[in-house]
Amino acid sequence: MPTKQVCPRCGQDWIHPYRFRADGTTFSLCTECDSLWWLGEAVEVARAKFLDDVVAERLGVEGSPWGGLVWADVIEPIPGHGG
């Protein structure tokens, strides 16, 4: 069962359930170091992705991966999952 878990990369924050607004794809995110894990993946340093990289892939914007967007435009925390 999912439990509150400290980010294994930075150890500074819990990882929080998030999702992409566009299609509802869910993932776990450390808001401290921007590490991302897809839901169901083992939350390990070796498997950690970087939020910027994932956003760049999804949005396909060169230069700035966010293309002028901010977090709240692209992703949102999932309510009701603790945290």
Residues lying near Zn ion in the complex (CB under 5 A) are found at 7, 9-10, 30, 32-33, 35
Q: Which is nearer to Zn ion, 32 or 59 (CB)?
A: 32
- Quote the least distance from Cβ 27 to Zn ion, whole Å: 13
Helix (H, G, I), strand (E, B) or coil at 19: strand
Give the long-range contacts of residues 57-65, CB within 8 A, separation 24 or more: 58/20, 58/22
Amino acid at 69: L
- Quote the least distance from Cβ 48 to Zn ion, whole Å: 8
Q: Which is nearer to Zn ion, 26 or 31 (CB)?
A: 31
